[in-house]
Structure 1
Amino acid sequence: MSKEWHITSFIVTARPERIAAVMDAALKLPQTELAVQEGARMVLVMEGEHRGDIMDRVDTLRDLEGVITVNLVYHHVEDKDSLEEELHDERHTT
């Protein structure tokens, strides 16, 4: 049985005076990266084996002081084994 790998992104909006603290706390979450931050909004990318693990991190974000919203932008599920396969470029130039 192969494992799944979840790749998600979220827009997090926080009170302007709390954005630095929210960003710091978010980046301490496992497998969470900052894609972009502008003003009081940031886009976070989260990865993990289980959807539940990601949702636990989202719940943690929602509970942070100053967070206004956490909105899902993208969710992709891939077979983890396929992510480890080497890709071959089958295009040929003649």
Structure 2
Amino acid sequence: MQDSPKISRRSFFKGDVPSRHHISSAVVVTHPSRREEIGRRIAAMPGVQVHASEGSRLVVTIEGPTSGMLGETLIAISTLDGVITANMVFEHMDEGEEIGS
């Protein structure tokens, strides 16, 4: 595992910090009769896409700038009325170019 780069206060305020992009996949289990409705509600959330659905399951991806944002979105999905479970399956972080360079 790679250490996070050290970011000084000065570089943070100048905007010279590495950009990061996080993506995760999740399986959401719903009441079968509400799968389509819940899929539409989930797809309307920022950074979320529904890729497949069958029976009571939805396969989604969540994208955002931080792992915490992904977790918050997954919690929001799990608290939707009609959702039985929402479980993260995979998470990946991609380091981009430095901002401000």
Match of 1:66?
A: 82
Contact 1:18 1:65 in 2 (8 A): no
Structure 1: runs of 5 or more not aligned: 83-94
Match of 2:22?
A: 6
Q: Give SS of 2:39's match.
A: helix
Deviations 1:17-61 (A, max 9, x none): 111221011001111111111111011011110112111111111
Structure 2: runs of 5 or more not aligned: 1-16
CA displacement at 1:81 relative to structure 2: 2.4
Contact 1:62 1:70 in 2 (8 A): yes
**4+ residue runs of structure 1 moved beyond 3 angstroms?**
none
Q: Structure 1: how far apart are the matches of 2:67 and 2:47?
A: 13
Contact 1:6 1:76 in 2 (8 A): yes
% identical equivalent positions: 27
Cα RMSD of the aligned pairs, angstroms, is: 1.4
| Aligned AA (2:20) | E
| Aligned AA (2:86) | V
Please give the TM-score of this superposition, normalised by the length of structure 2.
Answer: 0.75
Q: Structure 2: how far apart are the matches of 1:8 and 1:28?
A: 17
Match of 1:90?
A: none
Give 1:1-94 correspondences, 5 Å limit: 1-81=17-97
